[in-house]
Amino acid sequence: MTNYLDFEKPLAEIEGKAEELRALARQNEEMDVEAEAAALDKKADELLRELYRTLTPWRKCQVARHPERPHCKDYIDALFTEYTPLAGDRNFADDHAVMGGLARFNDRPVVVIGHEKGNDTKSRIERNFGMARPEGYRKAIRLMELADKFGLPIVTLVDTPGAYPGKGAEERGQSEAIARSTEKCLQVGVPIVSVIIGEGGSGGAVAFATANKVAMLENSVYSVISPEGCASILWKDAEKMREAAEALRLTADDLKGLGVVDRIISEPMGGAHRDRATTVANVGTAIEAMLQDLSKKKGDRLVAERRKKFLDMGSKGLAA
Name the E strands within the chain: 80-85, 98-105, 108-115, 154-160, 192-201, 213-217, 221-223, 263-265
Q: CB of 196: closest distance to other proteins in angstroms? A: 11
What are the φ and ψ backbone dihedral angles of 125, each rounded to 5 degrees?
A: -65, -45
Give 53 or 165: the residue with its C-beta nearer to other proteins.
165
CA distances to 91, 128, 251 from 165, rounded to whole Å, are 20, 11, 25
Q: CB of 270: closest distance to other proteins in angstroms? A: 26
Give 106 or 175: the residue with its C-beta nearer to other proteins.
175
Q: CB of 171: closest distance to other proteins in angstroms? A: 5
Give 247 or 264: the residue with its C-beta nearer to other proteins.
247
Q: CB of 119: closest distance to other proteins in angstroms? A: 22
Q: Which of 217, 272, 265 is nearest to 69 (CA)?
A: 272
Q: CB of 92: closest distance to other proteins in angstroms? A: 12
Give 25 or 179: the residue with its C-beta nearer to other proteins.
179
Q: CB of 209: closest distance to other proteins in angstroms? A: 9
Q: Which of 319, 318, 222, 219 is nearest to 264 (CA)?
A: 219
- 283 three-state secondary structure: helix
CA distance 248 to 223: 7
Q: Give 15-55 as a DSSP string.
A: HHHHHHHHHHHHH-TT---HHHHHHHHHHHHHHHHHHHHT-
Give 79 or 209: the residue with its C-beta nearer to other proteins.
209
- Contact positions toward other proteins, by CB under 8 A? 163-167, 169-176, 178-180, 182-183, 185-187, 202-203, 206-207, 210, 222-225, 230, 233-235, 243-244, 247-250, 255, 258, 260, 307, 310-311, 313-318, 320
Residue 199 contacts residue 64 (beta carbons within 8 Å): yes
Give 82 or 183: the residue with its C-beta nearer to other proteins.
183
